[in-house]
Structure formats: C-alpha cells, structure tokens
C-alpha cells in the first residue's frame, strides 16, 4: 500500500510529464527545458505541496523568459526538497539570464551529485569558460539567501576516516621521534664505551632504534598523505539514501536508491 507521500510525489511527476516529457538526462544540457523533478526526499504533505507550487511557478517564469524569478523559485524548491535536478534548473535559469559565472557555480553544485549526465555538464561548464570542479552547495546558505526555511537537515556530513588516519600518522611520528632520539643516545654511548662488548651492544641498540624510527616516520608520511587525499575527496565520498519516484513508458515507478 502506497503512503500519502508516495502517491503525491508520483502525482507531481505525472503532472510534469505532459509539459516536459520523459527526461533524457544524458542530453539535458542540449535542451532549453528545465529538468523534470523525478525523485523526492520523504517530506510532510505541506512541504511537498509548497515545493510543487514553487516548481510549477518557476516553470511558468522560465517559459515566459523571467529567468531571475525562475532561478529564485527553483532555489526555494531546492531548499525544501534537496532535489539535485533543481540544481540543474537553477544553473539553466542563470545561464539563460546571461549570468555565466552564476550558471557555472550551480552546474558545479549539480556536478557534485554525480549525475548521469556528468559528461554533458562538464562540457557545458567548459563552454561557459569555467573549470568542472564539483562543489557541494550549502543548503542552509541558499535558504537564507532566498528567505525560506528548510525542513531538511543541513549539518555537513563528517567522514571520520581522514581524522583517524591523521591520528595514526601523528602517533607514528611520535614513535619515530622517540626511537630516533634513543638511537642517537645509544650511538653516543657506543662512542663513549670503554669495552668492545659495550660498544657493540650500544651500536646494535642504536641500529635497531634507528630502523624502527625510519619505519615509523615512513608510516607517518604515508598516513598523512592518505589523510590529505581523503580530505580532498570528502566532497565526493558521500552516501545519500532516498525515496525515488520517476517516469517510465506508460506510467511511473517508485523505489529506493542509494548514491555512493
């Protein structure tokens, strides 16, 4: 049995279908039309109603060449739904308005969601003179700019692994420092030893400590490098689970999807 949300979200897609047709995401940037809203977060009915109104209001603005108003309403709908295709619609509106820089920024935000038409979006960004560097949008910041509250969580996702690996690197550096100092101390004692046996004993100890120090410093370097890599990749290592509603020949579909 479908929930009220499921039926409502499916109805939203059904209403958009006669206007826009079934979207071909790989060729999205070749069209002057905004994208169909094909997947929604699980929202309460009032929020979904508001998002639907804003979406079709933005669509009307867009078709009447009021691209500034279209961009703002698409942003408001995005704040309510966190729907990635709305990022594409905002970028398209900014582009039609002649705001190439603004369009690039929103295309980058859309690119950060790893869309199916990634190649086409990269090509479009380059055509506009920008670099296709994915950049996640701050949902809370957008909400403040357009004057609407978001019902969705806006806390940034924190990946603990870069910090764990960095901690390992720091610990390894500490171990390396301790054994390095021990190696220097034993080498000094070897030079000051009065008997050959004592000299050999301190020399062996110094070599062992030096070896451990080298291994620890190498481990630290690898760990720090790995942590830096993980930090730089944090924007692309997110997982988002959502309810998905879309269009299919002769009807629609409802399902659950996970991006990673």
Q: Could you tell me if 248 and 225 lie in one domain?
A: no
| CATH number of residue 9's parent domain | 1.25.40.10
Q: Could you tell me if 182 and 131 lie in one domain?
A: no
Are 3 and 251 within 8 A, CB to CB?
A: no
- As a whole number of angstroms, the distance between CA 28 and CA 207 comes to 64
Rounded average pLDDT over 208-231: 89
Averaged confidence pLDDT in the chain = 76
How do residues 194-204 score in pLDDT, each as one tens digit?
A: 888 888 888 88
Q: Could you tell me if 100 and 192 lie in one domain?
A: no
Is residue 256 very low, low, confident or very high in pLDDT (cuts 50, 70, 90)? Answer: very low
How do residues 129-185 score in pLDDT, each as one tens digit?
A: 999 999 988 888 888 888 887 776 544 556 788 888 888 989 989 998 999 999 899
The 3-state DSSP class for residue 1 equals: coil
Calculate Rg over the CA atoms of the chain. 28
Are 70 and 64 within 8 A, CB to CB?
A: no
- As a whole number of angstroms, the distance between CA 22 and CA 1 comes to 26
Whats the size of the chain, residue-wise? 260
pLDDT on residue 34: 59
Give the pairing of strands 251-259 and 240-248. Answer: antiparallel
Q: Could you tell me if 41 and 122 lie in one domain?
A: yes
How do residues 122-131 score in pLDDT, each as one tens digit?
A: 999 999 999 9
Q: Which residues of 207-221 are buried (b: 16+ CB within 10 A; e: fewer)?
A: eebbebbeebbebbe
Q: Could you tell me if 88 and 215 lie in one domain?
A: no
| pLDDT exceeds 60 at position 97 | yes
Instruction: List alpha helices for the chain, DSSP H.
Output: 4-20, 45-63, 67-81, 84-97, 100-111, 118-127, 139-146, 161-192, 196-232
Degrees, nearest 5: CA angle 29-148-62 = 30
Q: What pTM was estimated for this model as a whole?
A: 0.49
User: What domain range is 253 assigned to?
Assistant: 4-155+240-259
Domains of the chain: total: 2
Q: Could you tell me if 103 and 122 lie in one domain?
A: yes
Rounded average pLDDT over 22-51: 57
Instruction: List alpha helices for 64-149, DSSP H.
Output: 67-81, 84-97, 100-111, 118-127, 139-146
């Amino acid at each position: 049995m479908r929930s009220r949300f499921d039926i409502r979200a499916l109805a939203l897609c059904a209403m958009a279908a006669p206007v826009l047709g079934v979207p071909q995401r790989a060729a999205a940037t070749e069209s002057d039309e905004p994208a169909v809203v094909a997947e929604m977060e699980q929202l309460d009915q009032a929020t979904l109603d508001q998002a639907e109104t804003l979406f079709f209001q933005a669509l009307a603005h867009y078709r009447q060449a009021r691209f500034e108003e279209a961009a703002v309403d698409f942003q408001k709908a995005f704040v309510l739904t966190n729907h990635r295709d709305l990022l594409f619609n905002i970028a398209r509106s900014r582009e039609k308005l002649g705001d190439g820089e603004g369009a690039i920024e929103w295309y980058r935000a859309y690119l950060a969601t790893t869309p199916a038409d990634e190649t086409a979006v990269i090509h479009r960004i380059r055509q506009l003179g920008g670099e296709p560097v994915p950049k996640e949008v701050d949902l809370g910041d957008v909400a403040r700019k357009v004057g609407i509250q978001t019902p969705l969580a806006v806390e940034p996702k924190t990946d603990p692994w870069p910090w764990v690996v960095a901690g390992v690197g720091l610990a390894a550096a500490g171990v390396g420092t301790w054994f390095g100092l021990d190696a220097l101390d034993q080498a000094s004692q070897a030079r000051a030893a009065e008997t050959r046996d004592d000299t050999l004993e301190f020399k062996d100890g110094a070599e062992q400590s030096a070896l451990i120090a080298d291994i620890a410093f190498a481990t630290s370097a690898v760990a720090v490098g790995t942590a830096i890599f993980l930090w730089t990749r944090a924007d692309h290592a997110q997982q988002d689970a959502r309810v998905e509603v879309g269009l299919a020949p002769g009807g629609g579909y409802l399902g659950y999807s996970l991006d990673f």
